[in-house]
Amino acid sequence: MANIIDGKAVSARVKEEIANETAAVKAKYGINIGLAVVIVGDDPASRIYVNNKKKACETVGFTSYEYALSADTTQEELLQLIDKLNKDDNVNGILVQLPLPKHLDEKAVINSISPEKDVDAFHPVNVGKIMIGEYSFLPCTPAGIMELIASTGVEIKGKECVVVGRSNIVGKPMSMLLLHQSGTVTICHSKTQDLADHCRKADILVVAVGVPKLVTGDMIKEGAVVIDVGMNRLENGKLCGDVDFDSAKEKASFITPVPGGVGPMTIAMLMKNTLTAAKIKHGIE
């Protein structure tokens, strides 16, 4: 029976460390740390995420700046706002809540954020730095997953690591972070033949595809660490991951639940990136 990796507990520890460091930085240097969050339109899920980010800012001692724009905001208006935030010394991090309304160009918006304030680590400059292992920021979800794996005490070096999913936000950067820790990494996706065979080889299995209960217990190696990034709502209204938790927990040594696993870590790592951005700007080691 697997040990449950408690994302809420690990996230609380990370946020407490950030709050302590923020207080120390404020006391010593007299600086304020600010995160600007831009939300376009009224998508209910996006609103929940933005509210959670504001709460996290309060918890760690940051100033939160919210810019709630109407759904008919033009590309030019959005880019003008980002340009203003890029130049604002009170803003250390800029986050544009995705997805954006369909008439807006997400790629152009991401590219317009200053790499020094890109606390989501989506800008091509930051993506390139992650590839060569010389990064300031890490994408929040993969960085949170690395914290969760570290909390188990399992060493990544030399382990067979399988990432199911190849998105720019999770799958690709996740594989690079595991590689930087000397894992042997396989990336699986919708065109992979015999997914089950690949999964069964994994000492560390990260599943991020958005397909409910895609990975079942018979696809998991005995004693594997299983990280479930999926967040799917079933017809009965219940949330579930990309892994069939009930069968998987019989085989895994450690497993994340859904909810309460990876989710809380994403916002904690966003706070960490914002603190890092402030320290870099002010030359604080």
Q: Give the model confidence (pLDDT) of 94-107 as tens digits.
A: 999 999 999 999 99
Average pLDDT over every residue of 154-167: 98
Is 117 among the residues known to form the active site? no
Whether the predicted pLDDT of 235 surpasses 90: no
Q: Exactly one of 120, 203, 242, 244 is catalytic; name it.
A: 120
Residue-wise pLDDT for 64-77, tens only, equals: 999 999 999 999 99
Q: Would residue 172 show up in a list of annotated catalytic residues for this protein?
A: no
| Residue 14: band (very low, low, confident or very high) from pLDDT cuts 50, 70, 90 | very high
CA distance 264 to 245: 18
Distance (Å, whole) CA 110 – CA 36: 14
pLDDT at 151: 97
pTM of the model: 0.94
Task: State how far the alpha carbon of 184 is from the alpha carbons of 4, 160, 163, 206, in Å.
Answer: 24, 5, 11, 13
Which one of 53, 117, 221, 272 is the catalytic residue?
Answer: 53
Say whether 240 sits in a helix, a strand or coil. Answer: strand
Query: Is 90 exceeded by the pLDDT of residue 237?
Result: no
Q: What pairs with residue 240 in β-bridges? A: 232
Compute the distance between CA of residue 274 and CA of residue 285 in angstroms, rounded to an integer.
14
Structure-model confidence comparison of residues 115 and 237, the more confident one: 115
Whole-angstrom Cα distance, residue 47 to residue 233? 18
So what's the architecture of 140-262 in CATH?
3-Layer(aba) Sandwich (3.40)
Q: Could you tell me which CATH number the domain at 30-113 has?
A: 3.40.50.10860
For residue 41, the 8-state DSSP code is S
Residue 45 has a pLDDT of 86
pLDDT, mean over the chain: 96
120 in catalytic set: yes
Instruction: Confirm whether 30-113 and 140-262 share one CATH topology.
Output: yes
Q: Tokens 């998508």 correspond to what residue?
A: 43
Report whether the peptide linkage leading into residue 99 is cis, meaning its omega lies within 30 degrees of zero: yes
Q: Domain spans of the chain?
A: 30-113, 140-262
